[in-house]
Amino acid sequence: MLGIPAAYVMTDKRELLSDENRVYTIIDGRTVPQLEQAVATARQHEGKGVLVIDGGGNRAAVDELLASISDAIILPFTADDDSVYVAAKEMARFSSAWGLPSNWPTNSKAMVIDAGYIEKLEALYPARLLSPTPATHSIRDILLQSFSGILLPPAQRYCRALARQLSEVLM
C-alpha cells in the first residue's frame, strides 16, 4: 500500500488465492520446486520488499528452510489451549520467533479471562510477544477471495498497528 513490493507465498494445500485486486502478489509455493523457486527469488531481491511466507502445515523441513531465510518469524495463536500449546512449542524451536495473539477478544470480560494465555507464554518467553490483534468482522475483508484492496477503518488500524510492531522487531 506504500509502494513497497510485497508478495505472499502459499505453502499449504488450499486452493491458490487470486492476486487480482490485491496490492501484493500471490506466489504458489505448494510444491517443493515452487517453494524453492520462491526462496531463490527472495534471495535475489536482497531484502528489497516484503515477502510473507505462510509456513504452517507442521512440516519441519519446510519450516526450517523458511526460518533460515526469514528476518522475522511470527507465530499467531488464538485464545485456546491447543493454539497456545503449538505456539509455545514453536517458540521453543525458533528462538527468534515472536508470538502474536491473533483474533483476540475485545469484550472486557473475555479479555480478562484470555489474558491468562498471554501471561502463560510471556512467562515462558519474556519480551517475545507482540501486542494482540483484536477480533474484528472487518478482518474478513482481508480474507475474502474478492478483496478489493480497500480495508474498512477498524482493519486498517489493526493492520497498521501490526505493521508498526513488525517494523520495530526488524529494526
- 83-122, pLDDT tens digit by residue? 999 999 999 999 989 999 988 888 889 989 999 999 999 9
pLDDT band for position 58 (50/70/90)?
A: low
More confident site: 29 or 45: 29
Q: From its phi and psi, is residue 113 left (phi > 0), alpha (psi between -120 and 50) or beta?
A: alpha
CATH class of 6-170: alpha beta
Decide: helix, strand or coil at residue 89: helix
Q: What is the pLDDT at residue 120?
A: 94
Asked if residue 54 has pLDDT above 80, the reply is no
Q: Where are the domains of the chain?
A: 6-170
Backbone angles phi, psi at 124, to 5 degrees: -75, -35
- 140-152, pLDDT tens digit by residue? 555 555 556 665 5
Sort strands 73-77 and 25-28 into parallel, antiparallel or unpaired. unpaired
Q: What is the pLDDT at residue 44?
A: 78
Task: Report which of 23, 2, 9 is spatially closest to residue 149, judged by C-alpha positions.
Answer: 23
Other CB atoms within 10 A of residue 165 CB: 16
Q: What is the pLDDT at residue 138?
A: 53
Task: Report which of 42, 44, 17, 49 is spatially closest to residue 30, judged by C-alpha positions.
Answer: 17
More confident site: 90 or 61: 90
Whether residue 6 contacts residue 132, with contact meaning beta carbons closer than 8 Å, is answered with: no
- 3-28, pLDDT tens digit by residue? 777 888 888 777 877 777 777 888 88
Tell me the pTM: 0.72
The H or E element containing residue 26 is strand 25-28
Measured over the CA atoms of residue 125, residue 126, residue 128 and residue 134, the dihedral's sign is positive
Decide: helix, strand or coil at residue 28: strand
Q: How buried is residue 9: exposed, middle or buried, by Cβ count under 10 Å (0-12/13-18/19+)?
A: buried
